Structure 1
Amino acid sequence: MVNTLNESSPERLRDVATYAEALAEHKEREARLQEETDDADVEERPDDLPDGVPAKATITIEEINDNRYSYWQWREGDKIRSQYKGSVNPDK
């Protein structure tokens, strides 16, 4: 590899450097996502978990117009997914 790089033009070396940097960032991101998945302490599927919602999902509560709502929320790759769970009663 060293010999090939030594024989390359400056333009080719810049292209290789750009590609190598992008590849390194991609691999670091994949490793972080895998580590997040490995770190998830999921033992059992909760009884009230609906179909299509993974066991690693957590409950998020949001307030909209003085009303509180809960959602199942989980990560799929680099996206956050949500599914409505229900209204939250503040008296409970």
Structure 2
Amino acid sequence: MSDDPPTPPTDLPDDLGDGLEQCSPTRLRQIAEYAEALAAFRERNDRLDGADDGDGEHADRAHRREDGPENPPDGVPSKATITVKEINDNRYYYWQWRDGEQIRSQYEGPVDPA
């Protein structure tokens, strides 16, 4: 790991970048988890609406869903969607769903079980 701080995306609003700079590592991890869940939620809504978000990923998201697990396990509602998270250069399936105001997720397994 580098001794230099990471470089934010060039199009990140200054106020958001400044706010993140003030956060503790714990808070940053909470924000990252929330951002991942929010992105999955919006992707699911886009997929259900048949929308392409303009970056050409709509077809890719549909393809990933087809390749993922078919049926949620016990304790995961049928409305849950499968998402792919990359952690330490490894990709994993997670079920995600909305529970009231919160986004819930449950680990499913590796994308490439090799």
> Shorter-chain TM-score: what band?
0.3 to 0.5
TM-score (norm 1): 0.45
Name whichever structure is richer in strand by fraction: 1
Structure with max Cα Rg:
1
